[in-house]
Amino acid sequence: METAALIVVLVIALALFFDFTNGFHDTANAMATPIATGALKPKTAVLLAAVLNLVGAFLSTEVSKTISGGIIREDAIIDAGADLFLSLIFAGLIGAITWNMLTWLLGLPSSSSHALFGGLIGATLVGAGIGGIDFGMVLSKIVLPALIAPVTAGLIAFAATKIAYSVTRRYDGKPDGRDGFRWGQIFTSSLVALAHGTNDAQKTMGVITLAMITIGWQSGAHHEPELWVIIACAFTIALGTYLGGWRIIRTLGKGLTDVKPAQGFAAESSTAATILASSALGFALSTTQVASGSVIGSGLGRRGSTVRWRTAGRIGIGWLLTLPAAGGVGALAALLVVWLGNWGVAIDAVIAVLIILGLFMRSRRNAVTPANAMSDVAESGRAIELPDTPPPTRRQQRIEQAKAEARARAEAREKAKSQAKAQARKEAEKKAEKKAEKKAKASAGASKPAVSTKKADADRNGDSE
User: Percent of the chain at pLDDT above 70?
Assistant: 71
Query: Residue 271 pLDDT more than 60?
Result: yes
Q: Give the number of other CB atoms < 10 A from CB of residue 317.
A: 9
Share above pLDDT 90 across residues of the chain, in percent, rounded to a whole number: 0
pLDDT-derived band at 74, boundaries 50, 70, 90: low
For the chain, the first-to-last Cα distance in angstroms comes to: 178
pLDDT at 407: 86
User: Is it the case that residue 379 has pLDDT exceeding 50?
Assistant: no
Q: Report the pLDDT value the prediction gives residue 160, as an integer from 0 to 100.
A: 87
Residue 226 has what DSSP assignment? P
The model's pLDDT over 148-184, given as tens digits with 9 standing for 90+, comes to: 888 888 899 889 888 888 877 766 566 555 667 777 8
29-55 core/surface letters (b: 16 or more CB in 10 A; e: else): bbbbbbbbbebbebeebbbbbbbbbbb
Cα gap 281→297, rounded to integer Å: 23
Which of 43-57, 170-184, 282-296 has the weakest average pLDDT? Answer: 170-184
CB atoms within 10 A of CB 406: 10
Q: Over the stretch 244-256, which tens digit does the pLDDT of each residue have?
A: 666 656 655 454 4
Instruction: Band the pLDDT of 370: cuts 50, 70, 90.
Output: low
Least confident stretch, 61-65, 125-129, 160-164: 61-65
Say what angle helices 144-167 and 287-301 make with each other, to 10 degrees: 30
- The pLDDT value given to residue 81: 58
**Residue 415 pLDDT greater than 50, yes or no:** yes
Q: What integer pLDDT is reported at residue 61 of this predicted model?
A: 67
CB atoms within 10 A of CB 156: 21
In this structure, the strands spanning 384-385 and 306-307 are antiparallel
pLDDT of residue 257: 42
- 386 pLDDT higher than 60: no
Q: Flag whether pLDDT at 235 surpasses 50.
A: yes
List residues bridging with 296 in a β-sheet.
none
pLDDT tier at 107, thresholds 50, 70, 90: low
Looking at residue 275, its pLDDT comes to: 82
Digit-coded pLDDT (tens) for 208-222? 888 887 777 777 666
- Decide if pLDDT at 454 tops 70: no
Q: Percentage helix, strand, coil, to 5, in the chain?
A: 80, 0, 20
| Weakest-pLDDT range from 38-42, 81-85, 343-347 | 81-85
Q: Which residue has the higher pLDDT, 457 or 8?
A: 8
CB atoms inside a 10 Å sphere around CB 458: 10
pLDDT on residue 1: 55
Give pLDDT, residue 23: 80
DSSP letters for 188-219: HHHHHHHHHHHHHHHHHHHHHHHHHHHHTSS-
Please tell me the number of Cα atoms within 13 Å of 13 on its side-chain side. Answer: 9
| CA neighbor of 209 nearest in space, from 61, 97, 57, 4 | 61
Average pLDDT over residues 278-306: 76
At 389 the pLDDT is: 58
Q: Average of pLDDT values for 115-123?
A: 86
* pLDDT beyond 60 at 258: no
